[in-house]
Amino acid sequence: MPVIDMSSNPQCERQHPAPQRAEVVVVNPNGTLKNVFVWIKSGLAPAHWAPPAEPARLDQHGCVYQPHVLGIMKDQRLEILNSDPVNHNVHAESVTNPAWNESQPPRAEHKFKQFDTQEVLFPVTCSVHPWMRSYVGVSPHPFFAVTGDDGSFTLQGVPPGTYTIEAVHEKYGRKEGNVTVTPGGAATLEFTYGS
Amino acid sequence: MAAEPNFHPGLHRWSMVLAFCTLLLVVAGGTVTSRDAGLSVPDWPLSYGKIMPPMEGGILYEHGHRMIATMVGLFTIVSMVWLFRVEKRRWLRILGVIALLAVIAQGVLGGLTVLLLLPWYISSAHASLAQLFFSTTVAITLFTSSWWLRGPALTDEDPRYPVRGLSLAAPFCVLGQLALGAAARHKAIGSIYHICGAPIVTGVVLWISLRILLHYAGNRELRSAAVALTGITFCQVFLGIAAYMTRIAYADAVQPMPLMVTFTVLHVAVGALTMAASVSLAILVRRNLIAAEVSYPALAVAK
């Protein structure tokens, strides 16, 4: 991926001894894709899942968002930090949920936000540093994951049933697959993104 | 040559400064959009709750734009007061008021677009009004010049080649094209509409300019204005192609690339110059060409 040019803000640049690469497409050493949001799109019986008490965290560190892709349950709190010595603005470019844009100076208090409607995925950007972009997926249930350094994902505690699973990547888009989970069993599903 | 009695050199120079600063403001505004810095300062009218925030990253462009806008606003107030103090032409004093109202509206649109997270209709209106305001400042500069006060260089309009009405088409076409460009930049429509508009506007400009150069070249003022408009329009077409090509070349870039920003901002700035040149040409045509008398065959009315 291309190297980010942080020269417009030397305080950002100084935080990276090695050039910082964009995370739009991160291919793991095993050929899998990192930062893909995976969730159960349909098939779940109607139910109410309480959001976790712990907030999900989105940090601005080294003038990049960490993590790059974040899953969160609807009504779960999102804690936003600025660990940088520079000003940021945090712009949630959500469409279904109300969009907002707020500044967050260095050492400012953490922000807490919530999203009350399912929305997969929307970008969170910073216009002070236009390379800064993360993606948030708001799920109505806890069965979601983001692929990591080995490209795998795990959805735990899924009740038995047949489901449509969706994988969403910021560049390569959406893929769907069906899977059946038996009582006490496990199921495997693989998504392939072609170039 | 004796000085024109109603000529106020200070006011004219001030009008030139205002027009130049407005062009600078258009460049600053174009830079904000091209660098995706429009929301880097989420609050308005203050910036990060301050008059002077740290000028880092996108804040430099957005707050810099606000600072130049404030300066242009103040300069416009001075211009209007000056016009009211010394200018005898009532219509020109009214134009000064219109300029002030336009710059106030422009400031409000700029604030609203930040607070409402860049809705395309407000951002496009902000970009289009900027072009109109720049043309207004250029027109005021024209009207306050000693050259204007010396009176028109009159020429009879040839009824076979009418251009008085036609000359009004250019500013309207250019404004429409600028509005399409603004809407495309703010993602309301695809670039294709702006691209398709380019040959139409260029054709209209060429039609008017060639008619003047072929049939009214003896009038130096009209000739110069037509040559200027044609030259600026051709530069604009080149810059538009360059801006589009760099945009395609850097489609996958993770941040605005300097070459794309440069060509796009130049395209916006020369767009403002094209608008001002078309307005100036229309003004000069309407002033210098004496309308041809059109005779109609007599109608016999039977009773």
Distance from C-alpha of A93 to C-alpha of A70, rounded to nearest angstrom: 14
* Chain B: residue whose CA lies nearest to A131: B255
The total number of structural domains that make up chain A = 1
The verdict on residue A2 lying in a domain is no
Over residues A157-166, the pLDDT tens digits come to 999 999 999 9
The residue count for chain B: 303
With CB atoms and an 8 Å threshold, state whether A86 touches B57. Answer: yes
- Nearest-CA distance B124 → chain A (Å): 19
> Any chain B CB within 8 A of the CB of A89?
yes
Q: What is the mean pLDDT of chain B?
A: 94
Looking up residue A107, the CATH number of its domain turns out to be: 2.60.40.420
Over residues B279-296, the pLDDT tens digits come to 999 999 999 999 877 555
With CB atoms and an 8 Å threshold, state whether A2 touches B254. Answer: yes
* Chain B: residue whose CA lies nearest to A133: B254
Cross-chain CB nearest to B57 (options A9, A99, A133): A9
The verdict on residue A195 lying in a domain is no
The verdict on residue A3 lying in a domain is no
The verdict on residue A4 lying in a domain is no
> Any chain B CB within 8 A of the CB of A74?
no
The verdict on residue A96 lying in a domain is yes
Q: Taking a C-beta distance cutoff of 8 angstroms, is the pair A63, A132 a contact?
A: yes
Query: What are the chain B neighbours of A103 within 8 Å (beta carbons)?
Result: 41-43, 48
With CB atoms and an 8 Å threshold, state whether A2 touches B253. Answer: yes
Over residues B107-160, the pLDDT tens digits come to 999 999 999 999 999 999 999 999 999 999 999 999 999 999 999 999 999 999
- Nearest-CA distance B48 → chain A (Å): 7
Amino acid letter, A105 = P
Angle at B174 between CA B173 and CA B179, to 5 degrees: 100
Residue-by-residue DSSP string for A99-112: PEEEEE-TTPPPEE
The verdict on residue A5 lying in a domain is no
Cross-chain CB nearest to A131 (options B43, B117, B254): B254
- B88 contacts: CB under 8 Å, gap ≥ 6: B6
Cross-chain CB nearest to B39 (options A22, A105, A127): A127
Amino acid letter, B163 = V
Boundaries of domain holding A165: 10-15+23-181
The verdict on residue A187 lying in a domain is no
ipTM over 0.95: no
Block residue for tokens 């649109």: B109
Cross-chain CB nearest to A130 (options B36, B56, B60): B36
> Any chain B CB within 8 A of the CB of A3?
no
Residue of A20, A3, A115 whose CA lies nearest to A65 = A20
| Residue pairs spanning A and B at CB distance below 8 A | 69
Query: What are the chain B neighbours of A91 within 8 Å (beta carbons)?
Result: 39, 42, 117
Per-residue pLDDT of chain B (303 residues; tens, 9 = 90+): 556 668 999 999 999 999 999 999 999 999 999 999 999 999 999 999 999 999 999 999 999 999 999 999 999 999 999 999 999 999 999 999 999 999 999 999 999 999 999 999 999 999 999 999 999 999 999 999 999 999 999 999 999 999 999 999 999 999 999 999 999 999 999 999 999 999 999 999 999 999 999 999 999 999 999 999 999 999 999 999 999 999 999 998 999 999 999 999 999 999 999 999 999 999 999 999 998 775 555 554 544
The verdict on residue A110 lying in a domain is yes
- Nearest-CA distance A15 → chain B (Å): 15
Cross-chain CB nearest to B254 (options A8, A24, A103): A24
Alpha carbon of residue A107 to chain centroid: 24
